[in-house]
Chain A
Amino acid sequence: MTTQTLTPPATAATPAPRRRFRLTGERAMFAYTWLIIAWLVVPILIMIAFGFNNPKGRYNQTWQGFTLKWYKDVFAISDLTSALVISLGIAVISSLLAGALGTGIGYALGRYRFRGADGLNLIMFATMSSPELIMGISLLTLFVSAGIGLGAVTITIAHVMFSISFVSTVVRARVITLDRSIEEAAADLGASPWTTFWKVTFPIILPAVFSGVMLAFALSIDDFVVTNFTAGTTVTFPLWIWGATRVGLPPQVNVMGTLIFAAGILIAVVTSLRSRSKAKRD
């Protein structure tokens, strides 16, 4: 991660005019990067701002005064609240399941050489690069042909399916870089393979497992396309928003979006600070 050395090697051999050119090029790219970041943030700022808007009619798209009432009434629309609760429930269950199943695959792929590993890698690559539309349709055809009723269970099945590969990839990366001598030391001290795994290996790969589960949670709570095809009449948070686009979104959606955004940022910042202070201690 150290490429600071790459800043122009300002040797005497470099002619002065070219150095000045490079400097302005750097400045232009700096400004451009911030412009792109600003562009990425625009709709988020609008979402946050319009959670404080006081619209008269049904359409919440022109500024009509500041209010905090939507924060007070954030759960006033019962359909929307239950959609959020369903989304959270599915995200918790599917991320834990994908975490368990994906860790098994990631650990096996990182640690052992075994028959079928190539095929498994191929399937994982395929699940990560397949268009969501196609995964959604194919699951729909499976559930319809098998006569399985669509709902929260089929959504969860689908979310676990597309999350497993992401968890496995994160865990495998950690297992590959694992220092085997620590495990050998534990074995030399008489620990059984079972004890070695739970007392030594698992604590080391736990941060990777945790970030895999967080990734699966984020993928699940935001998923629209696959959910749209596997939901039946069940409504999740993104599906509710999609359904409400034609009639105008209530400001409560902005408030919930803002709260989810804030929670996500908070979790990300806390975990990154914790890992940073841990890295310092090590």
Chain B
Amino acid sequence: MNRVKRTLAPYLLVLPGGLWLLLFFVVPMVTMFSLSLQQGDIVNGYVFTGHWQTYVDAITNYQTQLIRSLVYGLITTVALVVMSFPVAYWIAFYGGKRKSTYLFLILLPFFVSFVLRTISWRQILTDDGMLLHPLKEAGLLSPGFHILGTSYAVIFGLVYNFLPFMVLPIYVALERIDPRVVEAARDLYAKPLTVFRKVVFPLALPGVFAGVLMTFVPASSDYVNSGVLGSSSTTMIGQVVQAQALANSNYPMASALSFFLMAVLLTGVFSYARVLGTEDVMNAAAR
């Protein structure tokens, strides 16, 4: 009796949460895929017709926004790796006793709502705002100069909002490096740059991968930054999906676009994983 109880224990513990994930994560994904192949409308109901044409329409009508989102996501991710590495490196190797304080400061933005932070940047960067107005008054910028509504503003917002997601995983990877490995490289007369290139960076790669995963996917599907800081010429696919789902109630189109986007993002992530070697990826994922 007791043995039966013990073998049942993990299943009983997992059951409620597992069911919740099954019902509200797995089932919705299936529903979404099915709906993307259905025809009809919200009033008369939907019928499954295997209508792949929605995908063709989605891709041909919105290829500009799709490509733009991936390009923005890519630029953001590359900028994040370059910008975050020195920060993570300095905190991990020179942070000393203050490490947790520095990490806390990096995480400070998360104590303010994501939407509110982005709007705060809009208030700063607006045409007659506190940044551009004085510069224009001083004649350093032409009166017609603006930042808001450009792709620079959108990418700026994406980089700002996702920076901590890149610093943290790289920090975790660097922090795990055994200092003796670095010392050994130095003892073998490796120059500082060689130590970095041949020892530190390869060991930090799983962290970089985790960071890319945590930033590229959400950045390319984001619609808050392009909505608040961008204009009609910076529309990203997230905005299209949001408009199709919430304004037009065109659920098949929103589903098809979402499913296609997810497929593209996952293909990108997995080919990146193949290049890097699956073992490192599993380690990064497990963290």
Contacts and interface: CB of A to CB of B under 8 A. Distances in A.
Interface of A: 1, 3-7, 9, 18, 21-22, 25-26, 29-30, 32-33, 36-37, 39-44, 46-47, 50, 60-63, 100-102, 104-105, 107-109, 111-112, 114, 116-117, 120, 123-127, 129-135, 137-142, 144-145, 157-158, 160-161, 164-165, 168, 193, 218, 221-222, 224-225, 228-229, 237-238, 241-242, 245, 249, 253, 257, 260-261, 264-265, 268, 272
B10 A142 contact: no
B246 A228 contact: yes
Contacts of B10: 108, 111-112, 114, 117
Interface in B30-74: 31-32, 35, 42, 46
B163 interface: yes
Contacts of B153: none
A43 B156 CA distance: 13
* Interface magnitude class on chain B: 35 or more
B86 A104 contact: no
Given A61-B123, A138-B255, A218-B110, 20 more contacts: A6-B182, A18-B192, A29-B90, A33-B91, A37-B102, A46-B120, A62-B128, A105-B13, A105-B18, A108-B9, A108-B11, A127-B25, A131-B221, A133-B258, A134-B32, A137-B258, A138-B31, A222-B110, A222-B113, A238-B115
Given A129-B213, A133-B258, A139-B28, A47 B112 contact: yes
Contacts, number: 257
Contacts of A157: 24
B20 A101 contact: yes
A43 B179 contact: no
Contacts of B217: 129-131
Given A134-B261, A257-B116, A43 B175 contact: no
A139 B213 CA distance: 23
Contacts of A131: 217-218, 221, 261-262, 265
10 contacts: A29-B86, A36-B87, A40-B164, A43-B112, A43-B124, A47-B116, A133-B241, A133-B258, A241-B119, A249-B119
B182 A1 contact: no
B255 A40 contact: no
A25 B221 CA distance: 37
B268 interface: no
Closest 7 pairs (CB-CB, A-B): A43-B120, A101-B17, A138-B28, A112-B10, A131-B221, A264-B111, A108-B13
A215 to B, nearest CB: 10
B221 A133 contact: yes
A109 B286 CA distance: 13
Interface string B194-225: 00000000000000000001100110011110
A241 B116 CA distance: 7
B279 to A, nearest CB: 16
B87 A6 contact: no
Interface in B1-22: 6-7, 9-11, 13-18, 20-22
B124 A42 contact: yes
Contacts of A50: 123
B110 A134 contact: no
A112 B117 CA distance: 42
Contact of B24 (A161, A241, A272): A161
B111 A261 contact: yes
B20 A160 contact: yes
Nearest to A131: B221
